[in-house]
Amino acid sequence: MQTLAFTLDQIPSPIGSMLVVTDAVGQLRALDWEDYEARLLRLLRLQYPGRAVELTRGATPAAISGTLAAYFAGELSGLSTLTLETGGTAFQREVWSALREIPAGQTLSYGALATRLGRTGAARAVGLANGSNPIGIVVPCHRVIGANASLTGYGGGMHRKQWLLEHEGVLQERGAQRLVSTRR
């Protein structure tokens, strides 16, 4: 069995400690939250079937940690410059690539994302791929919402999804679960 060797680091953020997984050439392979470490490990196993994933503690490359710090400081556009690599199926990678095209401050429903991919009617499949995203924040699955503009599930916890959307300029309407963008 082939072994994939990755580096695992833990870095702080305003909404909890993040686990960052990178490879030997500095590509981002996974990003999740410390309290969801079991999920991160499960997603890595699912992404690379037939291969063992070995994680060694080490530092996150400065380009990645600096870009994440800048994002949390308000520089929202830098995440698109990060180089990443994922396993997963061709369909999952297609969805994850499309997620990176949703600009900060904007949201999209699962159905609209499916339509954007030319797969009208595949909202549930898009939702499953979205939920299998191994690189939270950078592959912004938090920007996908319900068809009625409601805040829907997030693997890192709904409080984080809400914080991330508010940080990016998407606010929840008072007394409702609907979202409104404040960015133009």
Give pairs for 38-42: CB < 8 Å, separation 24+.
39/155, 40/134
H or E element, residue 123 = helix 123-131
**Between helices 90-99 and 123-131, what is the axis angle to 10°?**
80
Distance of CA 157 to the CA centre of its chain: 12
- Output DSSP code: residue 178: B
List active site positions.
141
SS (H, E, C) 33-93: EHHHHHHHHHHHHHHCCCEEEEEEECCCCHHHHHHHHHHHCCCHHHHHHCCECCCCCHHHH
Task: Let me know: does 36 contact 29? Beta carbons within 8 Å.
Answer: no
